[in-house]
Amino acid sequence: MPDLDSCLEIAKSATLLAGNFLKEQQDSNLKILKNKARDLKLQIDIDAEEIIKEHINANSSLPILAEESGKSGALDDYFWVVDPLDGTSNFLRNIPISCVSIALVQGFTPILGAIFDFNNSDLYFAHKKSKAFVNKSEINVSSLNFKKESTLVTGIPAKDSYSDDEFSNMISDFQSWKKIRMIGSAAMASVYVAAGKAEAYKENGIFLWDIAAGAAIVEAAGGKVSISNHQSDFRVDAYFTNNNLEK
């Protein structure tokens, strides 16, 4: 196993480099590469990813799976998973809910994560043998037990059409929770669970790079993580909770 403390420092440094770059460029004339249906891609996503990959490759020999450029080599037992800008649409519209997310996974199981909420200068991080932190403060999941008193953070996956059954099941689920939030960033949703700001995050058909770092942080903060239904394009079904909720 790679040295997790060293790998965490690499991930933290890379998120800070990319996040500070994104923050500096936020009010500039952003180049839109693709804006079709529900898919949005900016040039700055690619630029931030290059900053991250350059830093990781200078300090680690492990392969990288990145949102914009895909696989850098064969995905062996351990590899990095990079989302250079989670919440691109929020970023473009100046909604301050977006972040940089970097994970280390073992056999597709997240074991380390760093997420930089550059809008608030908050760096969340953890690995499987550590506690979870935001900046210098330890974070923990909430202690609420019942959905009727809890907040679910969720999202609607970016695809072209949805069946009536999908929406019917979603509304039925929503009715059992006290509050529902859709914030446009799976990584931020994850750290909200880790920090006790929400009790659960759930989304089907989400990409691995959107949730891998958050999964490691939620587990380190005392939460429970389920990542299932792995697809060939790296989509998964994710459900993270504070580990106290009833079924």
Question: What's the whole-number mean pLDDT along residues 134-160?
Answer: 90
Per residue in 52-107, pLDDT (tens digit) is 999 999 999 999 999 887 777 778 799 999 999 999 999 999 999 999 999 999 98
Q: Tell me how far apart the alpha carbons of residues 15 and 21 are, in angstroms, rounded to a whole number.
A: 10
SS3 166: helix
Tell the CATH topology of 4-138: Fructose-1,6-Bisphosphatase; Chain A, domain 1 (3.30.540)
> In angstroms, rounded to a whole number, what is the distance separating the alpha carbons of residues 208 and 30?
26
Task: Tell me the pLDDT band of 247, cut-offs 50, 70 and 90.
Answer: low
Kindly state the tokens that stand for 8: 């965490």
pTM above 0.75, yes or no: yes
Q: Are 237 and 228 in contact (CB under 8 A)?
A: yes
What are the E-state strand segments in 128-234? Answer: 132-134, 137-139, 151-154, 179-182, 200-207, 224-228
Q: Is 150 helix (H, G, I), strand (E, B) or coil?
A: coil
User: Nearest Cα to 81, choosing from 225, 216, 175, 195?
Assistant: 216
DSSP E strand stretches across 60-211: 64-66, 70-71, 78-86, 99-106, 109-117, 122-127, 132-134, 137-139, 151-154, 179-182, 200-207
On whether the 147-241 domain is CATH 3.40.190.80, my answer is yes
Q: How far apart are CA 111 and CA 52, in angstroms?
A: 19
Closest CA to 206 of 223, 224, 190, 222: 190
Question: pLDDT tens digits for 160-217?
Answer: 677 888 778 888 889 999 999 999 999 999 999 999 999 999 999 899 999 999 999 9
Domain ranges of the chain: 4-138, 147-241
Asked whether residue 155 carries a pLDDT value surpassing 90, the answer given is no
Which candidate, 48, 66, 50, places its Cα nearest to that of 58? 50
Instruction: Please report how many Cα atoms fall inside a 13 Å half-sphere around the Cα of residue 125, on the Cβ side.
Output: 22
* Cβ neighbours of 69 (radius 10 Å): 14
Least confident of 33-37, 120-124, 144-148, 231-235: 33-37
Plot region of 204 (φ>0 → left; ψ -120 to 50 → alpha; else → beta): beta
CA 4 to each of CA 65, 103, 187, 188: distance values in angstroms, whole numbers, following the listed order:
18, 11, 20, 22
The answer to whether 191 touches 115, Cβ cutoff 8 Å, is yes
User: Model confidence over 25-61: pLDDT tens digits?
Assistant: 887 777 887 766 566 778 899 999 999 999 999 999 9
